[in-house]
C-alpha cells in the first residue's frame, strides 16, 4: 500500500491535480469550440464549391464606380464574396462553381450599373501558366 502524502508533498500533489484539471477543461472547451465552428461552417462549404473570378478595371473613372460594382455583385445570385481592396484596380469575386460564369458577372455590371465609358472591365484569365515541358535529352535545333 502506498503511504499518503505528507505536508509539502500533499500541497504539491494538490497543485498538480488542479493544474491538470484546468488543462483538461481548457482542452475540452477548445475542442468543443472547434467542433461547433466546423459544424456551423462546413455545411455551407460542403454543398457550394467556389471559384474565383477576377475582373481588371482600367480607366480614369473605375475607382469611383468600383463601390457601385461591388454592391451590385454582392446582390447577385451565386456570388459569395466581392473583394475590391486586396488588389488595386481589380475585383476578386468568389462565386458558386458552375452557377455563375464570368460572362454572367460582366453582364450584371453592364445591366445593373452604369459603367462609365472611360472604365474598361475585363475578365482576367489565369496569369500563371504551366511551362512547356521538354524531354531532358531534347536538343535545341
Same domain, 42 and 53: no
Range of the domain at 43: 8-47
Same domain, 12 and 62: no
C-alpha cell of 63? 475607382
* Among 110, 109, 104, 100, residue whose Cα is nearest residue 49: 100
Write the pLDDT tens digit of every residue in 64-95: 889 899 999 999 999 999 999 998 899 999 99
**Summary mean pLDDT of the chain:** 75
Total of domains in the chain: 2
Same domain, 91 and 40: no
pLDDT, position 91:
92
For the residues 125-137, what does the mean pLDDT come to? 49
pLDDT, position 63:
86
Write the pLDDT tens digit of every residue in 34-59: 554 444 444 445 556 788 999 999 99
The DSSP result for 10-56, as a single string, is HHHHHHHHHHHHHHHHHHHHHHHHHHHHHHHHHHHHHT--EEEEEEE
> Quick check: pTM over 0.75?
no
Q: Are 92 and 82 in contact (CB under 8 A)?
A: yes
Residue, of 7 and 104, whose pLDDT is higher? 104
Amino acid at each position: 500500500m502506498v503511504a499518503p502524502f505528507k505536508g509539502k508533498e500533499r500541497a504539491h500533489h494538490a497543485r498538480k491535480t488542479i493544474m491538470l484539471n484546468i488543462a483538461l477543461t481548457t482542452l475540452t472547451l477548445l475542442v468543443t469550440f472547434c467542433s461547433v465552428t466546423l459544424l456551423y461552417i462546413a455545411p455551407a462549404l460542403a454543398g457550394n464549391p467556389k471559384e474565383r473570378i477576377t475582373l481588371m478595371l482600367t480607366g480614369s473613372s473605375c475607382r469611383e464606380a468600383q463601390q457601385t460594382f461591388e454592391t451590385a455583385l454582392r446582390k447577385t445570385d451565386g456570388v459569395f464574396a466581392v473583394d475590391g481592396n486586396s488588389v488595386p484596380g481589380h475585383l476578386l469575386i468568389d462565386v458558386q462553381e458552375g452557377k455563375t460564369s464570368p460572362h454572367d458577372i460582366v453582364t450584371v455590371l453592364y445591366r445593373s450599373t452604369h459603367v462609365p465609358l472611360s472604365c474598361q472591365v475585363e475578365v482576367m484569365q489565369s496569369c500563371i501558366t504551366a511551362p512547356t515541358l521538354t524531354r531532358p535529352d531534347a536538343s535545341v535545333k
